[in-house]
Structure 1
């Protein structure tokens, strides 16, 4: 079982891992070696973007420009710790016990606009590239349209529609996020996704199909059900149902 997550615009600074260029032969900080050529093209295009000059008109933009300029030499950290924001805060990888953390490192794969698919345990630098970034001489779709071939087996797809379209994964099962009233959610669906992954990790779920996952969800009182096109997760706006920080229940609302 693989859980596919989108990246986050916000990222933690720093790191203590080897950079993309100083890792010793055979100790690359990145998995999925089949993406090496596409990654090299993306990094070369980012070099051209940096050389052309980036917007530094605000402190945030200046930091992003500095991260991009140092992307090859900067220290790295596990991707699951690098990405921040609503989804990753709800997942709370840093507060998981050792077994749940190991589950995340084995089962979670994150899609990066710069590096393609990376495992939760892969060490990555800070960078500022999204699916909307114009990389000189490259098109995002051309870079990553075939990247999904590296994903094997049952894949639970929690990516945004934009990232799923950028790198389609054959057979991946999408998850629709809705409120208890059945309405589509936007911002708070990220919290629901993070809480779902945390629940999966804490329960060390091992399934090989959507049907098996739905059966687990029913046994665990997780409001995840099957639909004609994939799965549906019911999520409560956490402002309406507050819970203790770092708990898996978070925005997931039982029916």
Structure 2
């Protein structure tokens, strides 16, 4: 099983790993696009104003441009530690036992606008690039990633639980992946998509699935593991789950 997580706009600072070595990253088939994007971001960082526009950020976030400028030389850390925010707080990597972290490292991957797809223990630097960014000379990221990323995703073995957010799901499709929708249920039975707590609950579900002593291989097993973690998950289609809160 592989649980595919969205990245986060925010990243942890620093790191104790060596500078970026793309050769060591999982899914080496993606390297040509990774190299193109890394080069484009480093070059773009030479023009702060243009970088702010392309990345969709304000002058108060100019430190993000500095991160991109140092993309090739800054220290790295495992992806699970680099990405931060609500989902990753709920995932709570620092609270995992050694055994749980070992299982999670094999079952989690992160979708990335810069790297396409990375395993949980791949070492990455801090950077700023989102799926909606418009980098001069590169074009839409979906058009760039789709031809190389979709074959990689189609080749994933076993059950794939797709928790990517919309913009990242738009970078490439995954045939047969099981999607997760977080919903609330009204008194009349009507279900509404949850926005505010969406990431937190996906993080909780990802934690339960990735650290379970027995790796789930079926949707039924996913629902069972979720129930043990006090999460109410229902199958609503052949490849669709709803997490009801």
Does the Cα contact within 8 Å between 1:175 and 1:231 map onto a contact in 2?
yes
1:29 deviates by 4.0
Does the Cα contact within 8 Å between 1:12 and 1:84 map onto a contact in 2?
yes
Matched, 1:179 2:194: no
**Structure 1's 57 and 196: CA in aligned 2 closer, same or farther, altered over 3 A?**
closer
Which residue does 2:37 correspond to in 1?
42
User: Unaligned regions of 5+ residues in structure 2, if any?
Assistant: none
User: Unaligned regions of 5+ residues in structure 1, if any?
Assistant: 236-255
- The TM-score normalised by the length of structure 1 is 0.83
Does the Cα contact within 8 Å between 2:20 and 2:72 map onto a contact in 1?
yes
Distance 2:230 2:99 in 1: 21
Matched, 1:33 2:43: no
Q: Deviations over 1:103-155 (max 9, x none)?
A: 11101010111111001101000001101111122120122113133231210
- The TM-score normalised by the length of structure 2 is 0.86
1:184-195 paired onto structure 2 within 5 Å: 184-195=193-204
Distance 2:150 2:218 in 1: 18
Q: Tell me the C-alpha RMSD between the 2 structures.
A: 1.9
Distance 2:96 2:229 in 1: 18
1:20 deviates by 1.3
Which residue does 1:249 correspond to in 2?
none
Does the Cα contact within 8 Å between 1:20 and 1:124 map onto a contact in 2?
yes
Matched, 1:224 2:226: no
Does the Cα contact within 8 Å between 2:5 and 2:110 map onto a contact in 1?
yes
1:202 deviates by 3.3
User: Going by fraction, where is strand more abundant, 1 or 2?
Assistant: 2
1:168 deviates by 1.3
